[in-house]
Amino acid sequence: MTSLAEIKERAFGPRVPREEIFRDPLRFLLPTIFIGVAGILLIISTFFPYWTLEMQAPQFPKGLEIQVYVDEMVGDVHEIDGLNHYIGMRPLSEAGQLERSLSIIMVGVVIGLLVGAVYVHNPCALILTWPAVLWPAIFLGDLFFWMWNFGTHLDEGAAFSNIIDPFTPPIIGQGTVAQFHTNAVWDTGLLIAFGASGLVIVGLILHRRAYKPLLDRVKAERAAEAIPVAEA
């Protein structure tokens, strides 16, 4: 019958012997530091805009700007919606409503998984950390989807719908739609999130270097115990 200790070891990996911790503390501390700092950066990123769009239009000589955070959209949203109305594009506030409403909870879950990965000493740590690694890509993928959805599903009854072909606004760089010129940039929050992803990857490499020898040792000991002792 499998003991509780064995179940715990299979779920969380082997326990680190105290003498090994004292002999080489950085080996086991560095993965925790990198993954922990990544979690802190991910929290910080939510306080900064992830994406900024600047628009130049004849009606607004000073230009218009919107900034997209993980949980809100700020700036000249109303004015840009008014211009988009003429080409048949839906209001920007309708994009990603579910994602924005759940974003802070999702960030909390991702950080919780990172914290869990610190206490896992086997390859399951990789599974727990992948949401944090992919977080910036998930944001960009969701943003691209909504830009594509809004740009290719225009209202045919709009004033200028007959002169505008379906399009996908760029999520980075410059774009032109009729007489409007746009410039999209990946902003501070997203860059911080990319930095967090990089730290998680480094943490995973250090995690493997720290705990794989322990796993190999445990496997070798179990294999030796499984070999029947030959009778004299």
Instruction: Name the residue ranges covered by the structural domains of the chain.
Output: 23-208
The b-or-e profile of 127-141 (16+ CB within 10 A means b, else e) is ebbbbbbebbeebbe
Query: Smallest Cα–Cα separation from 204: which of 151, 139, 129, 134?
Result: 129
The amino acid present at 225, given as its one-letter code, is: E
pTM: 0.86
Q: What is the pLDDT along the chain (232 residues), one digit of tens a residue?
A: 455 555 555 656 667 767 777 788 888 899 999 999 999 999 999 999 999 999 988 888 889 999 999 999 999 999 988 888 888 888 888 888 999 999 999 999 999 999 999 888 888 888 999 999 999 999 999 999 999 998 888 887 777 767 777 888 899 999 887 778 899 999 999 999 999 999 999 999 999 988 888 877 777 766 676 666 544 4
